[in-house]
Amino acid sequence: FFSSRRRHTRSLCDWSSDVCSSDLAALKQAKEIFEKAGGVKNTKAEEEYLIAVRAINADFDKKIADAKIKSINDYYSEVIKKAEEGGKNELQITLNNIDATTSQKIVAAKESYNKIGDFSKEAEKKLQDDIKKIQADAENEKAAIILQNKKNLADDELALEIDKQKKILAAAGGTSDAQKAYDKAVTDATKKNNDEKALADSEFNKTVQKNAETTATVQTEDRKSTRLNSSHTVISYAVFCLKKK
């Protein structure tokens, strides 16, 4: 009997400072009740004592598992937060660079316009159309980078979530309930990942469509102007002469 009792209580006797004081108190109380009831001479007291010890062990294991799971959740929350902040900072730098390049292109277009010295309405309109196209191209470039950034972040978060859930599953002892919780968490995280990327695609397509409409309007107006000039030679020649002056 004593070897059996040692088997049940060995882990309790060897607990370190991590052991909850409430569990030690419960163990001490169970032992006192057992000894007062006659100890090994009382079979019923022995059974009740062993049941109490197993319950205390189970409670302790649960507390340890819960503490591990909380630590895992806290750690991954911090990792994801830092990843998001780092991603935003890098994204903003890239977008700022695109804006700077766009400004330089617009300045170059204006300088070219001034250098040519053609200040007619047609030339002014062409300059404005060129600027619109430069801006539309820049918006498309930024939209593509934002799209990729969102997808990368979504995939990173999914990978971290799966890794986190694996650690939680191990901390929970790999029980059937823990496995079910793991499966559900991974399924939910995968669905969230797909939804976030689908939303990012939708936002990107809207931006590209809007810019395409702007560019198409400019091109349509240019084609109309070209047709007018080619079908009315007198007007075209007059415009040419005005430009020469």
**For residues 102-123, b (16+ Cβ closer than 10 Å) or e, as one string?**
beebbeebeeebeeeeeeeeee
C-alpha neighbours within 13 Å on the C-beta side of residue 172: 18
Tokens found for residue 198: 């689908």
Q: How many CB atoms are closer than 10 A to CB 135?
A: 15
Tens digits of residue pLDDT in 85-105:
988 999 999 999 999 999 999
Rounded to an integer, the average pLDDT of 155-168 is: 95
Cβ distance 24 to 68 under 8 Å? no
- pLDDT, residue 196, reads 95
Tens digits of residue pLDDT in 125-160:
999 999 999 999 999 999 999 999 999 999 999 999
Percentage of the residues of the chain whose pLDDT score is greater than 90: 51
The pTM for the full model equals 0.65
DSSP state of 1: -
Tokens found for residue 202: 């939708």
